[in-house]
Structure 1
Amino acid sequence: MNELQIIAGCKEQKREAQKMLYEVYARKMYSICLRYSSDQDAAQDLLQDGFMKVFANIDSFQERGSFEGWLKRIFINLALENLRKKKSIIQTSDDVQDLPDIVDDSTEDEQMYKISESELLNMVQDLPRGYSTVFNLYAIEDYSHKEIAEMMNISEGTSRSQYVRARQILQGKVRQYIKERS
């Protein structure tokens, strides 16, 4: 079955199509859930809730644009909604101009390959929730600060400052990690 057939089957609520959709996209959507969750159990719960939402709303997919993009949007919005309910998103009024410039050290860039994806994910998850959320949305999901501000109900300046602070903290964690393993 190709993607369009799977989607059509899901719209007809066929279990086989739903299972195939889950099998094709669960791994990618789980990685999104994990980026916005505190642990694997919370990410698994978010994954299940996300697929329930997908199956309940699949009729709203108009086959315009990428289906995977549509799925990602659902999972990201669900993760943000979950964070809002837990009041885990830090909202500050910091302005990015008050922050020091980040020095981009090419030595660190060369050392990045020594850090596994799971170790880097752990570093991102250890950030304060607001910082990690903005970092994920901007650096990984490729949303603009304007879009992030709208999604999180914060100002663009707050989005920028939380991203800059997240990068600063991550750079420190990477330096420490490299230092400990050198």
Structure 2
Amino acid sequence: MKEEQIIAGLKAKDRITTEYLYDTYSKALFGVICRDISNRETAEEVFHDSFLYITRKIQAENIYKGQLYTWMANICRKCANDKNST
């Protein structure tokens, strides 16, 4: 699936696209979080929150080709940093 299709599918709240996004990017995004959070249970919680945020926030974002992963990774980093600061 191309990035444009993923973005359009997420904006349309398509379940198959959301599953594809999870299957394709979850390991990499979880890795981003684990760089900042060593406790696996906490990292999983942050990933869950991040993934929900990504699927909801994409509605208001203008994401262009080549920016999807970077945008998602930045959200994961921010959520991890927020969790570390609490």
- TM-score, reference length from structure 2: 0.89
Q: What amino acid is the match of 1:81?
A: D
Q: Give the aligned partner of residue 48 of structure 1.
A: 48
Deviation of residue 70 (structure 1)?
A: 0.5
Aligned residue type for 2:71: W
- Superposed CA deviations along residues 82-113 of structure 1, whole A, max 9, x for unmatched, are 1111xxxxxxxxxxxxxxxxxxxxxxxxxxxx
Q: How many pairs does the alignment contain? A: 85
Of all paired residues, the percent bearing the same amino acid is 26
1:9 matched to which residue of 2? 9
The aligned residue for residue 70 of structure 2 is 69
Please list every run of 5 or more consecutive structure 2 residues that lacks an aligned counterpart in the other structure: none
Detail structure 1 runs of 4+ shifted over 3 Å in the superposition: none
Residue-by-residue CA offset, 1:2-27 (whole Å, 9 max, x unaligned): 22111111111111110101111101
Rounded to whole Å, the distance in 2 between the matches of 1:61 and 1:3 is 14
Taking the TM superposition and a 5 Å limit, the aligned residue runs for 1:26-41 are 26-41=26-41
Report the Cα offset of residue 63 of structure 1: 2.3
CA deviation map 1:27-57 (0-9, x unaligned): 1101011111132211111111110000110
Structure number with the bigger relative contact order (C-alpha 8 A, sep ≥ 6) is 2
Q: Paired residue for 1:81?
A: 82
- 2-structure distance, mates of 1:42, 1:63: 28
Contact 1:6 1:21 in 2 (8 A): yes
Q: Which amino acid aligns with 2:16?
A: E
RMSD: 1.3
Please give the alpha-carbon distance, in whole angstroms, between the structure 1 residues aligned to 2:32 and 2:60.
Answer: 22
Per-residue CA deviation, residues 132-174 of structure 1 (Å, 9 max, x unaligned), is: xxxxxxxxxxxxxxxxxxxxxxxxxxxxxxxxxxxxxxxxxxx
Bigger Rg, which one: 1
